[in-house]
Amino acid sequence: MKSELVFNQPYWLILACLLTGVAYSWLLYSKKTSLSKNANYVLAAGRALLVALICFLLINPLLKSNSTKTIKPLLVLGIDNSGSINTIGESAVNSVKEKVKGFYESLLGSDFDIEVRDLDGASVNLDSLSFRTKKTDLGSFFKKVTEEFEGQNLRKVVLLSDGIANSGISPLNRPYTFEIDAIGVGDTTIKKDVSLKGIRSNKLAYLGNSFPIEAELSGKLFAGKSTLVLVKQEDEIIARQLVSFASDDDFKVVNFQLSANKVGKQRYQIEAVPLAGEYTTRNNFRDVIIDVIDGKEKVLLLANAPHPDVKALRAIIEKNELFEVVVKNIQFDSPAEIENTVFDILLLHQLPSQASSSNSLVIKLLGKMKPTFFVLGAQTNLRVFNGMQEVLGISSSSGKTDKVTASFNPLFKRFLVNQDTKQTIASFPPLIAPFGEYRVFPGSDIVLFQQVGNLVTERPMLVVNTNANRKTAVLTSEGIWQWRLEEYFMNEQQEDIDVVILKTMQLISVKEDKEKLRVYPVQDVFDIDESVVFQTEAYDDLYERLNDISVTLQISGSGGFSKTYNYTAGVNTSTFEITQLKAGVYNYRATGVVLGKNQISEGQFIVRDTDLEFVNTTADFNLLRSLASDNGGNFVPLAEMDRLAELIKGENLPSRLVSTEDLQEIINLKWLLPLLLLLAALEWGFRKYFGSY
């Protein structure tokens, strides 16, 4: 470490400090004393030094320190812990575990640090390694490793995998700042197998209509053979097709057209009848869930003028198939046509506008008392807007705008948003919002605050009120099309801002529930290895939460399944979990006594069996070879792990030198006060000892 003094004051003040110390000492010790001449000189020098140091500290000198730290190179050992590894057999899996452990131990003591992670990015204990994950997302693994070790000296990632990626984005052709070595495990031999590779269908269907289901079927080493593809509902066959394989590596697409004749979530089982000699039949079955509904909610998106936000909003809303969007423009569509449009939700973009001629039409539309979503902008007439809704008021006489980013309100609990979404949205570029004084009306909930620079203001960016006569949401900024482009640039997807807008739309569109007892599953669809979690809420006549309510929950499903559970819902026990349900569609009926009256809450949920790891069980070493080759690494099969360990130990992975500069006030150094006290105490002690006061 190298240190030097830095002065903010003129250097001649240092001489002044010395002269002050000498002058003070001369005034004190120049008079006659009983001390000897030498003792008098020593004490005078001590007093001069003490006073000079105190004066020196008063001019506030700084100490600049430069230090250099060596960061050792880091190697991450990534373990593909997916279930497809288990297809090689128990003894082979145990051999993999031993080899991985030996590989790790052989690298210990090298000139680099080692971290072990699974594909979910979690730390792995090699003594309890298991291969049970139901999907393989290699792209997500490398993204998580990059984010976790950002700023560290990550030089190499060693991935042990069978190369079967069945989820997420491919890791190939993406730039990485580290080398990648790959270890291939698994069997690359093509086996006799019939498998359903994928199922395509709509998520929604409308009662009385027909809907398609498309099954992708693969046949390996079954040339000249045929199989039946069946569609079942509640174990009853409702459709079938005969499929013949013309070659030993054949791929067929089988189309079914089914009728939606029952409202609610419907589970259909697609089955390829197994053929003799198949390696595994676990990939012969797939489920598909279709939500059959009575109709869509119509959204009228009315814009003041053409704007990129209009297209962005339409794309967001149409992601939810329960919404049907009709786009109208004040400038191009006739008032009569707009007024006669049937809608369930009204979305107004920069309306009411500065052009007052269109505002009478907006008033007529608002008079229908439908849920409304305002999107404000530079063309919005804020004075008229303030009188049209009961969410917030904006006072702005200048017509100025402000550039703002978003900050989530930690107190908002009306719908849940995960932490990754919050961080992503907070990193988006600024939007344009009206500059002025904002006043949020009682009953309104702020979803997003406006943030200016690093300052989170109390001005809302997104606010919603479901307690007013008309359920209303207001987005006070324009330019969310930029956020969608930014998110696609960052993550190659457009999800985070879309989720927030869609959930806000759903919040204002949901029909008011006046039930005193509400029991509902926390999600509509559960995987077979998940617990089914129910949330329970009970309310009094003022819709304030009640506790200690006894609930009887009846679950019924296909095959005559029926089971009853009893529990008490309280402050800390509002959730109830059910485990080990088989795949299927289940109905539930919850009953309880609230304020002396019997209350009922009922609905549906799905348990699905989706194990992507058995769709394909043939190891893909070509992917691993390409991944290693593209990133300056080596590929080896499992049997040559020891050779890879020797190659890695022979590499000279470079360390990183990090220089840091620290600037602090000398007066903050902890040893200075003891030094000053020691000088003063020594002088006082000697004067006392020699009898001089």
pLDDT digits (tens, 9 = 90+) for 163-218: 888 777 888 878 898 999 999 998 788 889 999 888 888 877 878 788 899 999 99
37-58 and 12-29 helices, crossing angle to 10°:
140
Phi, psi of 216 (to 5 degrees): -100, 120
Domains 73-188+618-650 and 297-509 fall in the same CATH topology: yes
Average pLDDT rounded to a whole number, residues 618-636: 89
In Å, how far from its chain's centre is CA 508? 24
Percent of the chain at pLDDT exceeding 70: 97
pLDDT category at 693 given cuts 50, 70, 90 is low
The answer on pLDDT for 513 being more than 60 is: no
Contact in structure between 298 and 345 (CB atoms under 8 Å): yes
Give CA–CA dist 376/382, Å, rounded.
9
Tokens 């590779």 sit on residue: 197
DSSP designation for 528: T
pLDDT in tens, 29-59: 777 666 777 777 787 888 888 888 888 888 8
Question: Exposed, middle or buried by CB within 10 Å (0-12, 13-18, 19+), for 542?
Answer: exposed
Q: What is the 3-state secondary structure (H, E, C) of 479-502?
A: CHHHHHHHHHHHHCCCCHHHHHHH
Determine the CATH number of domain 193-291. Answer: 2.60.40.10
pLDDT in tens, 398-445: 778 899 999 999 988 788 788 888 988 999 999 999 998 999 999 899
Count Cα neighbours of 278 within 13 Å in the Cβ-side half-sphere: 20
CATH class of 297-509: alpha beta
Determine the CATH number of domain 517-608. Answer: 2.60.40.1930
Count Cα neighbours of 483 within 13 Å in the Cβ-side half-sphere: 27
Contacts of 1 (CB under 8 A, 6+ apart): 65, 66, 67
Q: Which CATH number fits domain 73-188+618-650: 3.40.50.410, 3.40.190.10, 2.40.170.20, 3.40.50.1360?
A: 3.40.50.410
Phi, psi of 471 (to 5 degrees): -65, 125
pLDDT score for 34: 67
The answer on pLDDT for 682 being more than 90 is: no
Average pLDDT rounded to a whole number, residues 302-330: 92
Domain residue extents for the chain: 2-68+662-689, 73-188+618-650, 193-291, 297-509, 517-608
Q: Which residues on adjacent β-strands are paired with residue 432?
A: 403, 478
Give CA–CA dist 110/104, Å, rounded.
11
DSSP designation for 382: H
Computed on alpha carbons and rounded to an integer, the radius of gyration of the chain in Å comes to 36
Name the token pair of 346: 């009204």
| Secondary structure of residue 288 in the 3-state scheme | strand
Q: What is the dihedral of CA 372, 378, 382, 384, to 10 degrees?
A: -70
When mean pLDDT is compared across 107-111, 221-225, 375-379, 622-626, the lowest value belongs to: 107-111
